[in-house]
């Protein structure tokens, strides 16, 4: 059958926008590598920033929790799925984020959906950074609040919108990633907090790429804000699926806000609770992220070296995170660059629309504490010889 999608997919193929999955397998002995078509590739595509996803201590913690509490939670947390492992993980995450309470979800995507849709609704105003993650964008749309997009990382743009519109709305929220997933740069959180305060707005910060990596002791960039920085509400969202090497997401906030999301967040209420094994693995990872600060230091040092190198090649990358973009522009050029790296044994994804704007395609290098100096040197060599054209 030639489905209705066939022509559209052909067009995407021609435009370098077709999406497909690579059938990779874990390397048997090296967590920094995967096997693809029988070949080992150094993995610069994973968000396992601290190198914890294949740590045997996480696997052992997951196995113990599965034996004790089951492989699945069996029901929504509101029915019978809120188990001891969730409660203890929620306490640890609240301590980690420096908040009264937290709430654990099956994914970071679900956590963002619940936070935004529970806190904003018809009659409210949400201001969303132009480069926010898809889960925040979808949360804004589903909330049925009025959505205004402010210029990327630009507090004066948010301030201008709030000055014009704030009076017509009941509540307002500024919503931003703390580290932008495809650019690796950071939101100006202190300045956004000042704008939020000035206009009696709340601030929702998605710490997906900062959790465990950036901020004091890896507690996220919003952990540097004073507790009373945003009187109308400061809500932190994070994921357990990237630096913490497990699976799931969380919201951390004051107790009242958490109670409200339990009652109003549909992706919390109507979804089975996080699998106990994932919760236990995340709890172990959180402990290790504190006990082994060298992981954070290592990944940030590698990213810093790559940024310096790329700046020397005339391709500077913004920010201080573990994500280093190499901007190509045309989609097909980014695909050619990914192929160039792949041929040399480096797995680096080409990121294209709709993850980034059309014509803003790029390689996205994710560093990990597992990468060796030689891995980085090899990647640099490949990046220094990127082809000028897609042919």
Ligand X SMILES: Cc1ncc(COP(=O)(O)O)c(C=O)c1O
Residues contributing to the site for ligand X (CB under 6 A): 107-109, 112, 133, 135, 177, 181, 206, 208-209, 239, 241, 249
Comparing CA positions, the residue from 266, 234, 268, 272 lying closest to residue 142 is 266
Provide φ and ψ at 152, rounded to 5°. -55, 125
Nearer Cβ to ligand X (76/386): 76
CB of 243 within 8 A of CB of 218? yes
Q: State which residue, 303 or 336, has the beta carbon closest to ligand X.
A: 303
Task: Compute the least distance from the CB of residue 352 to ligand X, in Å.
Answer: 15
In the numeric block, the tokens 């017509």 are attached to: 168
Residue 99 CB, nearest distance to ligand X (Å)? Answer: 18
* Nearest residue relative to ligand X (C-beta): 108
Cα separation, 214 vs 221, whole angstroms: 6
Q: How far apart are CA 104 and CA 113, in angstroms?
A: 13
| Least Å from the CB of residue 129 to ligand X | 11
Residue 181 CB, shortest distance to ligand X, in Å, is 4
Name the phi and psi angles at 372, rounded to 5.
-90, 170
Tell me the chain's radius of gyration from C-alpha atoms: 21
Residue whose CB is less far from ligand X, 102 or 241: 241
Q: How far apart are the first and last CA of the chain?
A: 33
d(CA 380, CA 184): 18
Q: Specify the residue, 205 or 328, whose C-beta has the smaller distance to ligand X.
A: 205
Residue with smaller CB distance to ligand X, 115 or 196? 115
CB nearer to ligand X: give 99 or 107.
107
Please, what is the minimum distance in Å from the beta carbon of residue 337 to ligand X? 21
CB of 45 to ligand X, least distance (A): 12
CA distances from 148 to 38, 126, 193, 224, 355 (A): 48, 6, 17, 26, 19
């Amino acid at each position: 059958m030639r489905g209705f999608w066939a022509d559209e997919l052909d067009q995407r193929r021609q435009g370098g926008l077709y999406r497909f999955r690579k059938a990779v397998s874990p390397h048997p002995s090296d967590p920094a590598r995967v096997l693809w078509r029988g070949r080992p590739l150094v993995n610069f595509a994973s968000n396992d920033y601290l190198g914890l996803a294949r740590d045997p201590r996480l696997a052992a913690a997951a196995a113990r929790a599965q034996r004790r509490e089951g492989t699945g939670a069996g029901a929504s947390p509101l029915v019978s799925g809120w188990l001891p492992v969730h409660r203890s993980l929620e306490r640890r995450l609240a301590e980690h984020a420096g908040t009264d309470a937290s709430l654990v979800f099956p994914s970071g995507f679900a956590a963002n959906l619940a936070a935004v849709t529970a806190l904003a609704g018809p009659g409210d105003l949400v201001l969303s950074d132009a480069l926010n993650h898809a889960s925040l964008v979808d949360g804004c749309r589903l909330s049925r609040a009025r959505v205004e997009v402010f210029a990327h990382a630009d507090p004066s743009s948010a301030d201008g919108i709030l000055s014009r519109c704030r009076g017509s709305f009941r509540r307002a929220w500024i919503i931003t990633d703390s580290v932008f997933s495809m650019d690796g740069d950071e939101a100006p959180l202190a300045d956004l907090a000042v704008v939020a305060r000035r206009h009696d707005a709340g601030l929702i910060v998605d710490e997906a790429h900062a959790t465990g990596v950036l901020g004091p002791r890896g507690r996220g960039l919003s952990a540097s804000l004073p507790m009373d920085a945003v009187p109308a509400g400061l809500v932190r969202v994070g994921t357990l699926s990237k630096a913490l090497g497990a699976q799931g997401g969380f919201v951390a906030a004051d107790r009242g806000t958490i109670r409200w999301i339990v009652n109003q967040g549909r992706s919390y209420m109507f979804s089975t609770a996080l699998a106990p094994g994932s919760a236990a693995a995340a709890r172990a990872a959180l402990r290790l992220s504190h006990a082994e600060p060298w992981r954070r230091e290592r990944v940030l040092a590698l990213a810093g070296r790559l940024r310096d190198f790329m700046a020397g090649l005339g391709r500077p990358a913004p920010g201080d995170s573990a994500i280093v973009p190499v901007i190509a522009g045309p989609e097909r050029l980014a695909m050619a660059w990914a192929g160039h790296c792949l041929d040399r044994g480096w797995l680096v994804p080409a990121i294209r629309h709709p993850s980034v704007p059309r014509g803003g395609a790029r390689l996205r290098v994710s560093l990990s504490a597992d990468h060796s100096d030689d891995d980085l040197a090899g990647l640099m060599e490949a990046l220094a010889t990127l082809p000028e054209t897609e042919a």
